[in-house]
C-alpha cells in the first residue's frame, strides 16, 4: 500500500504565491508517489468570522485553484473538510487528551488572538482540529509551508499521548517542507510572512492577479537603498524576491542576477511570476466555466475518503472504551 499524504488550505481570503510555492506546487509534484488527500479546511476558516455567502463561493474557488495549480482529481482526493463528519468528531476526542498549556503556547494562536476583540474557543482548538485532519487518514507525510511546523509538532505530540494512553492507534506524521519557497515574505514588509489575512494592496501576489497588477506590486516591493544586487549582502526584500523568482524559474540563480540593477531585476522577477501563473489562470477559467464539474470532483473526493475516516473513528472509539 502507498503511504498517505494529507494537507489543507483554508478557503479564506485570496490564495497567494506563498500558498502556491509553499504548498500547492509541492503537492502537485508529490501526488503521484503517494495516496494523496488535499482538504479545503472550511472548519478552520470559521475560527475567525467569515461572511457565509463569501465562504461558500471561496470553497469552490479554492477547489478550482487546487486543480488549476496541478492537483489532478484522478490521482488525488480533493475534499471539503466539513463534508466528512469524522474530522470534527475526532477533534473532540483529541481535545480530551490535549493539555491546555500546549495550545496556549502556539505562536499562531497568540498572533491571531491579538487581532480579535473576542477570542473564540475555536481559535485555541485550531491545531487540535488540524491534528484530527491528519490522524483521521493515518497520513505519514504532511506537505506544508514552514509556518505550520509548530502545528505539526503538536499533532505528533497529541498522537503520541493518545497512543501511550490508549495503545498504538495513530501513525506518526512527518513534516514535508519545499526546498525553495517554504516561507515567502510579504512584498510590503519582508520581515512578515506573506499571508491571506494581512491587509494592504501591495502585500501579496494573488494567484489570480493579472500581469499588470503583478508588475506593479513587484515594482513597488520594499527593498533597500542599494542600487544593484550585491550577492554577498542581500537585504531581506531582495532575498525574498529572488526566492520567489527562483521557485518560479529555476534558471534564476543568485549568480545569474549578481550586479543586476534593482529595476531590471524586478522586471525579471515579474516575468518569471507571470509566466508561472499564466497557465494556472487559464486553466482556472476553463474549470470554472463548468459549475457542476467542481461539485462532482468534491463529491468523488468525499466518497473516496469517508470509509477511511469511519474506520479510524471506530478504532479510536473502541480504544477509548466508547460505545461503538
Alpha-carbon span 258 to 255, nearest angstrom:
5
Query: Of 319, 272, 219, nearest to 17 (Cα)?
Result: 272
Alpha-carbon span 291 to 289, nearest angstrom:
6
Is 217 an annotated catalytic residue?
no
**Do 219 and 187 contact (CB within 8 A), yes or no?**
no
193 interacts with ligand ATP by CB under 6 A: yes
Q: What are the cell numbers at 162?
A: 493518545
Alpha-carbon span 324 to 317, nearest angstrom:
7
86 interacts with ligand ATP by CB under 6 A: no
The label of the residue with cell 490535549 reads 98
**Do 128 and 163 contact (CB within 8 A), yes or no?**
no
44 interacts with ligand LTN by CB under 6 A: yes
Query: Cβ atoms within 10 A of the Cβ of 258, count?
Result: 12
133, interface contact from ligand ATP, ligand LTN, none, CB < 5-8 Å by kind: ligand LTN
CB of 125 to ligand ATP, least distance (A): 15
128 interacts with ligand LTN by CB under 6 A: no
Rg for the chain, CA atoms, rounded: 21
CB of 159 to ligand LTN, least distance (A): 13
Counting residues that bind ligand ATP (by CB under 6 A) gives 21
Residue, CB closest to ligand LTN: 8
81 interacts with ligand ATP by CB under 6 A: no
Residues taking part in catalysis: 112, 193, 196
Point out which residues bind ligand LTN (CB under 6 A): 6-8, 10, 41, 44, 130, 133-134, 142, 144, 148, 151
Point out which residues bind ligand ATP (CB under 6 A): 9-10, 12-13, 18-19, 22-23, 144-145, 147-148, 181-184, 193-197
Amino acid at each position: 500500500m502507498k503511504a498517505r499524504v494529507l494537507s489543507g488550505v483554508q478557503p479564506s481570503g485570496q490564495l497567494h504565491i506563498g500558498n502556491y510555492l509553499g504548498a500547492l506546487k509541492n503537492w502537485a509534484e508529490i501526488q503521484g508517489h503517494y495516496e494523496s488527500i488535499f482538504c479545503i479546511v472550511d472548519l478552520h476558516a470559521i475560527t475567525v468570522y467569515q461572511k457565509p455567502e463569501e465562504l461558500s463561493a471561496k470553497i469552490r474557488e479554492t477547489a478550482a485553484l487546487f486543480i488549476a495549480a496541478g492537483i489532478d482529481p484522478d490521482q488525488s482526493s480533493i475534499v471539503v473538510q466539513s463534508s466528512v463528519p469524522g474530522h470534527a468528531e475526532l477533534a473532540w476526542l483529541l481535545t480530551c487528551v490535549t493539555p491546555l498549556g500546549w495550545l496556549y503556547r502556539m505562536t499562531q494562536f497568540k498572533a491571531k488572538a491579538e487581532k480579535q476583540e473576542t477570542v473564540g474557543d475555536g481559535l485555541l482548538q485550531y491545531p487540535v482540529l488540524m491534528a484530527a485532519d491528519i490522524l483521521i487518514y493515518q497520513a505519514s507525510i504532511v506537505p506544508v509551508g514552514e509556518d505550520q511546523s509548530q502545528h505539526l509538532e503538536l499533532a505528533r505530540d497529541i498522537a503520541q499521548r493518545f497512543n501511550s494512553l490508549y495503545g498504538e492507534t495513530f501513525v506518526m506524521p512527518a513534516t514535508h517542507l519545499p526546498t525553495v519557497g517554504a516561507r515567502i515574505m510579504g512584498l510590503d514588509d519582508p520581515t512578515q510572512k506573506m499571508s491571506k489575512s494581512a491587509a494592504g494592496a501591495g502585500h501579496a501576489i494573488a494567484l489570480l492577479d493579472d500581469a499588470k497588477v503583478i508588475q506593479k506590486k513587484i515594482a513597488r516591493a520594499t527593498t533597500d537603498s542599494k542600487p544593484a544586487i550585491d550577492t554577498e549582502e542581500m537585504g531581506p526584500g531582495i532575498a525574498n524576491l529572488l526566492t520567489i523568482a527562483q521557485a518560479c524559474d529555476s534558471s534564476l540563480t543568485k549568480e545569474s542576477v549578481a550586479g543586476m540593477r534593482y529595476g531590471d531585476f524586478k522586471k525579471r522577477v515579474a516575468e518569471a511570476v507571470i509566466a508561472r501563473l499564466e497557465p494556472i489562470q487559464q486553466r482556472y477559467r476553463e474549470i470554472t466555466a463548468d459549475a457542476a464539474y467542481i461539485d462532482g470532483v468534491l463529491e468523488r473526493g468525499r466518497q473516496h475518503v469517508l470509509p477511511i475516516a469511519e474506520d479510524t473513528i471506530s478504532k479510536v472509539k473502541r480504544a477509548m472504551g466508547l460505545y461503538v
